[in-house]
Amino acid sequence: MNEKLTIALTKGRILKETLPLLASVGIVPLDDIGSSRKLVFETNRNDLQLVILRGTDVPTYVRYGAADMGVVGKDILMEHGSEGLYEPLDLGIARCRLMTAGPLGWQHIGARIRVATKFVNITREYFSRQGVHADLIKLYGAMELAPMMNLADLIVDIVDTGNTLRANGMEPLEEIAAISSRLVVNKAAMRSRYTAISQIIEELTAVVKEGEDAPA
């Protein structure tokens, strides 16, 4: 077992919002993550390192014990499952919404609809609950293009400001889930490294609560 505690972080917006949280509990990378091409970063703590990953890979690294802990969006956990993981804390960062969206004024006509998304499992379950027969088309980006090119009727995607939808003649329709980033922990690591991990969880919990209680 790696003697150092390893925390897997999601690159991009989540990383930018995670680093200040970690700094507030005394965990600071020794190198500038934003300008470095490295993937593994030593920190000011000799017993702890950070690894930077794609969001979809964070649960896998934590599940199989390559990382002890991780930070990942709830959408990834919903889509790919959280088996083998504890999810002890909602960090309250990188907030957004997972939504259906369609062309302005879109109306459901006919027995079937085509939906483009990268969240195929969530989308299948959602439309099944609605009693709607949806043919799913998996895409990895530029979802807004699918209705414009008559590839799909609707999309299911992450919506933040909604500006991209509006710029492409679309509008958000129904919210499937409110999304934020979660702290996840490997179940075996939680038992074998309980003291170190629980201390980090407690410190982060206090910081998150302090942020929630702060006046707007």
- Which pLDDT belongs to residue 214? 65
* Contact present, 207 and 124 (Cβ < 8 Å): no
- In this structure, what token pair is assigned to residue 170? 């679309």
Q: In terms of residues, how long is the chain? A: 216
Dihedral sign from CA coordinates of 127, 54, 32, 86:
positive
Show the domain range for 201.
5-94+180-213
Q: Are residues 165 and 105 in the same domain?
A: yes
Token pair for 21: 């949280």
- Are both 75 and 139 inside the same structural domain? no
Q: Are residues 157 and 132 in the same domain?
A: yes
* Residue 211, pLDDT score: 79
61 φ/ψ angles, rounded to the nearest 5 degrees: -60, -40
- Find out whether 204 and 25 touch, Cβ atoms under 8 Å: yes
Pair (110, 156) in one structural domain: yes
Based on the fold, state whether residues 134 and 185 are members of the same structural domain.
Answer: no
- The letter for the amino acid at 172 is P
Return the HEC string of the chain.
CCCCEEEEEECCHHHHHHHHHHHHCCCCECCCCCCCCCCEEEECCCCEEEEEECHHHHHHHHHCCCCCEEEEEHHHHHHHCCCCEEEEEECCCCCEEEEEEEECCCCCCCCEEEEEECCHHHHHHHHHHHCCEEEEEECCCCCCHHHHCCCCCEEEEEECCCHHHHHCCEEEEEEEEEECEEEEEEHHHHHHCHHHHHHHHHHHHHHHHHHHHCCC
The whole-number pLDDT of residue 152 equals 97
Instruction: Report, as ranges of residue numbers, the positions in the chain whose pLDDT lies below 50.
Output: 1
Residues 78 and 126 in one domain: no
CATH number at residue 24: 3.40.190.10
Within this chain, do residues 90 and 184 fall inside the same structural domain, yes or no?
Answer: yes
* Rounded Cα distance, 18 and 72, in Å: 10
Same domain flag for 76 and 102: no
- Say yes or no: 10 and 90 in one domain: yes
Residues 184 and 169 in one domain: no
Q: How many domains does the chain have?
A: 2
Residue 89 β-bridge partners:
183
Q: Are residues 70 and 56 in the same domain?
A: yes
Distance, in Å, from the CA atom of 62 to the CA atom of 84, rounded to the nearest integer, reads 8
Note whether 90 and 169 are same-domain residues. no
List the one residue out of 99, 92, 98, 100 whose CA is nearest residue 180.
92
Q: What is the pLDDT of residue 1?
A: 47
pTM, whole model, 2 decimals?
Answer: 0.91
